[in-house]
Structure 1
């Protein structure tokens, strides 16, 4: 917002004599105020879910990111509740104790906790001593438990044959040779400029991020002739660049990583429901069948880079690539079990009238009566005024999905961010349904709270490492938690109330 006296206000703030201790104390107070608001909303929500992940900060302290997802009067919220430091061991029992101690200390009611999402580490998902198993044992009931869908997708993507994986290793070696030395890098960019290449530079690969692989390979292939010319000028030899068997695998990897990147991107971001994530994965599984048939026919309609390579070579090993995709398809089929088993449950908020209530998972929703839910579904089924709400929701979701597809096709990613969020649209529909159907609403809001991934935790760790960096490695746990919470929360501290509690400092 722009004020007429904005510059004057900014200068007044700059002139305020705040010590480092004062800034720290007030940051802690604001974060504490936000925590109180969050806890109040969680305890008043009909249901909530948690996502939990761990990562080391710059001081080698293991930090547990604990997120809650719930529905309040403004709609679905995804909030960092706490960064919990673990100073000693990080076994499943240590994580479980830390989380339960925090929930107890903050008086967060666990009676309406419905689901938990984690990564696939043994400390999180071990059958006997994993965090999830111990949490359910401590609560004395079964929760809906999900292994982060993004982690599972990344594991499936790693099923490429060893020869294909080695292609990536060679590409990275070459890129490093070019970009590691400043002179080499400048000369290579100059070469690209002279030949008017599509790209002005190569990309470095970050092993942590799967998405970077596809972009690195795509740009490398586009600049392949320029790369060969430059390496020859520096008397650097990579025999693989002249081997047709290696080059065909390179072009295959370009195409497959592009397809995987499209899936990965669709699973990221806020506002997506667990149902949406599952549907994206199931759709990709079907696409893998299409890819196999495409290779069998030899048309390569879905492999543009490999098709271009084939045009200048006599033959390529299509059977090898077909077996690689079949192995990946098998890996996809063995994973995502938790999501597949609960597809009816996850679909309920969008298509409640099309689902047999006997197929819904009721065990994780202690506040919902199944007999009453069945009666409510029977009662609402022929009332056009409410049935039309769900028809409108389906039509709206279809329209948003159509717009998103068109924008993605045109690479207008920022415009996609401005589209209505799926979970918000679902919430608005159910919020308009009267409390006569309270069990249906409770169930829908409970399902809407489910985390499909721990994506939000990964985002927080990025912020954590930015805040507690090598220049601020002595930041205390309390200060780190407060700074990260202030950075990522959608809540605002009640500054007016907080300011009345602060003692006014008189000038001397």
Structure 2
């Protein structure tokens, strides 16, 4: 603590303690530290102020006078550093003045770049310097509230009013502007103090700073903790950061001398505040690279919320866009803590995060969510609220989530499927609840593998015969049901042996009774039949499920794979009954399970006297096999009803598969009409001509357009051949098609990273540190 605090002299007898009448005195931060960490010197009040609560839109800001006197300069410094709110790429709305439609022009920012602001919410212009300092000068004159509180929006007289607002050299605006410049130039005082330091002190500081940044980059890339189990800002634990600094110093004598042996007493390179500043700087540079790659173009958003280990609701935001090379990119923009998950709160958090990175909401052209009502609600859902602001921000329910819901619906509507998963879940819970039973399962698996190797039934090799485990399938974990059934089939004999051991050796009567019941269930032909049937049904949709996890998957290809899955299910219903019965019979013979005679009357096991009038063959073929497949097809058709919409038909018509076999000009023109901001009457006429020339060229003049597998390949080829400039409207339509998200797998991966970064031992991380660590860890290829 002596390194960070100045010791105060002890009070003499009879004098009051200094702590009772003096403010807390912290150590003076080294000037060189201030130079490299902040543009302005930070006070204790700066550290206490929550900058995240400060509004970016000028209309929503609180008056400067409403802040306490001790923190007003901190607020002013924040807004000066942030620079005026100037959304250049925003589509400014038009207002009728007289007989003409007028709007704000972004060219007005050029000559007034240091003070002119625009509010998207109010469609009005504001003055930054007058907002910051006019409250101190109001007694000396009256500047009005047009550019500070109410906003100015008389666009027919804009230039005249701008000039009048600025006024002469002694106007209120000029005085506010000069005060803003004075506060902004306070850094020069720090710079002059730093220049007085010796060259050796500056060199040593840079060496300490570089070492700290290198260590921070290493920890961020791997997602490792900085200070062990306590990541709160007030933590005194040094942890991995200090140990790595020592290791860093051991590799170089000069670095070690500067870092550990010759650091000044007020050096703060290892304190939590500086570590947090380094993380924030790394995250900002990473996000800056993403925004530069987007380059003000159209984008889609993928949003979901989940609770972290501290039970705080976090909202993750992913950007989906097409870069300059024609590649579909999904990038993690950030994570935000939301107090409630209402659609209004989520919309406000999304808009705030986009505005923090100078992204205009009018550029949104796609939305991707799961099926929760606050997201997909037709009236007050997040999807509908954003559509009200941006009519072309089309949303499609996450395909992977719909695929999982189709399985859940199948389980709820068919009693045989529901009973099968109930028994399966009980078996998994019974074995997984005990470490001893898990070890027994692993041992049985090893013994069986050794026996198979001995008789030459399996072969050794890299990647072969990997150890398998049992996990309970999750309702929202994509592909978990298929993986569970696959492992269950492989480990069937080991599972039977574990249940037999449990039935024989378990000391508790209830456990022995449960094992006995599960053994009887698992040896029934009906259970084995359902095991194979559901495995085959899930197998046919598993490829679609895996494809939907790819970041660059386009919606047309996903719809094609969905159609393929439906056709495979129909083929299974018509042609694969005999082959499946052969597999089930072979499995039963291998594991000693009795097979009923198919021509006998079916017995449901409830009463031997009351036998049904149907045979086993009719029951398993009609009431189970056909019924399950028909219900699976019905669920897929109900969940994916968007296939009939004009939007999807138009996108499918752009597909280059089989030399543009699905090309349909009328449907493509109908698709363009869904984007009125990009395709007005003039653009539609030009698109009509461009489509005629483009399809002839692509089919007959250039071999590069042959054998393309999807729209994403079409975008890449158009960029490579520079045809995106020749037929710019065709490429724009292709790009808008690719922006619409297919699945929210990227958001789920972000939450998996969040659980890795903020775990049980690091649950005291604040929101800013968590966001910085996540940005650098998830986008480490850019970082």
| TM-score bracket relative to the smaller structure | 0.7 to 0.9
Q: Distance in 1 between matches of 2:701 and 2:768?
A: 50
Unaligned runs of 5+ in 2: 1-246, 261-268, 453-457, 459-464, 504-514, 599-616
Q: Per-residue deviation at 1:428?
A: 2.0
Cα pair 2:329 2:552 within 8 Å, conserved: no
Q: Out of 350, 353, 364, which is 2:675 matched to?
A: 364
* Residues 109-155 of structure 1: per-residue CA shift (max 9 Å, x gap): 2333211111111000101010010111133x243211001001111
Distance 2:539 2:492 in 1: 18
TM, length-normalised to structure 1: 0.81
- 1:244 maps to 2:525: yes
Please, which of 419, 422, 427 is the counterpart of residue 169 of structure 1? 422
Encode CA deviations 1:468-504: one digit per residue, 9 max, x unaligned. Answer: 11111111111111111111226645xxxxxxxxxxx
Q: Equivalent residue for 1:4?
A: none
Please report the TM-score for the alignment, with normalisation by the length of structure 2: 0.54
- SS in structure 2 opposite 1:52? strand
Structure 2 partner of 1:397: 709
Q: Is the 8 A contact 1:380 1:387 kept in 2?
A: no
1:374-408 CA distance string (max 9 Å, x none): 11112334346x8545x53441438xxxxxxxxxx
Aligned to 1:345: 650
Alignment partner of 1:279 out of 551, 560, 563: 560
Contact 1:76 1:427 in 2 (8 A): no
C-alpha distance 474-265 of structure 1, shift in aligned 2 (>3 A): same
Unaligned 5+ segments in structure 1 are 1-6, 399-421, 494-508
* Number of residue pairs aligned between Structure 1 and Structure 2: 455
What's the offset of the Cα at 1:90? 0.8
Task: Give 1:32 deviation, angstroms.
Answer: 1.4
Structure 1 residues 227 and 122, CA gap change in structure 2 (3 angstroms)? same
Counterpart CA distance in 2 for 1:156 and 1:61 is 30
Aligned to 1:428: 716
Is the counterpart of residue 300 in structure 1 residue 579 in structure 2?
yes
Structure 2 equivalent of residue 42 of structure 1: 294
RMSD of aligned Cα (Å): 3.0
**Cα offset for 1:214?**
2.2
**1:105-144 mapped onto 2 (5 Å cutoff):** 105-139=356-390, 141-144=391-394
Q: Is the 8 A contact 1:143 1:364 kept in 2?
A: no
Matches within 5 A, 1:197-212: 202-207=469-474, 208-212=476-480
Quick check: 1:43–1:108 contact (8 Å CA) kept in 2? Answer: no
Q: Deviations over 1:320-374 (max 9, x none)?
A: 2211110110111112233542333333554378221334243236223222111
Call closer, same or farther: CA 1:248–1:111 in 2, change over 3 Å: same
8 A Cα contact 1:35 1:81, kept in partner: yes
Match for residue 288 of structure 1?
Answer: 569
SS at match of 1:147: coil
After superposition, give the CA deviation of every residue in 1:145-186 in whole Å (9 maximum; x if it has no partner). 110010011111221323323323322322333343333333
**Which structure 2 residues correspond to residues 208-247 of structure 1 after superposition, within 5 A?**
208-235=476-503, 236-237=515-516, 238=518, 239-247=520-528
Distance 1:157 1:134 in 2: 30
Equivalents in 2 of 1:434, 1:181: separation in Å?
61
Q: Distance in 2 between matches of 1:9 and 1:374?
A: 67
Partners of 1:77 and 1:490 lie apart in 2 by: 15
Flag the 1:70–1:210 CA change in 2: closer, same or farther, 3 A. Answer: closer
1:354 is aligned to: 663
For residue 186 of structure 1, the aligned residue among 439, 445, 461 is 439
Match of 1:459 in 2: 749
**Matches of 2:697 and 2:524 in 1, distance apart?**
68
Report the counterpart of residue 496 of structure 1 in structure 2: none
Deviation at 1:292, TM superposition (A): 1.4
Q: CA 1:113–1:227 in 2, change beyond 3 Å: closer, same or farther?
A: closer
Q: Which has the higher contact order (CA 8 A, sep 6+)?
A: 1
Change (3 A) 1:325 1:361: farther
Alignment of 1:25 onto 2:337: no
Asked if the contact 1:175–1:202 (Cα under 8 Å) also holds between the matched residues in 2, the reply is no
Cα gap change, 1:193 to 1:438, in 2 (>3 Å): closer
Which residue is 1:318 aligned to? Answer: 621
> Which protein shows a greater Rg?
2
Q: How does 1:82-101 map to 2 (within 5 A)?
A: 82-87=334-339, 89-101=340-352
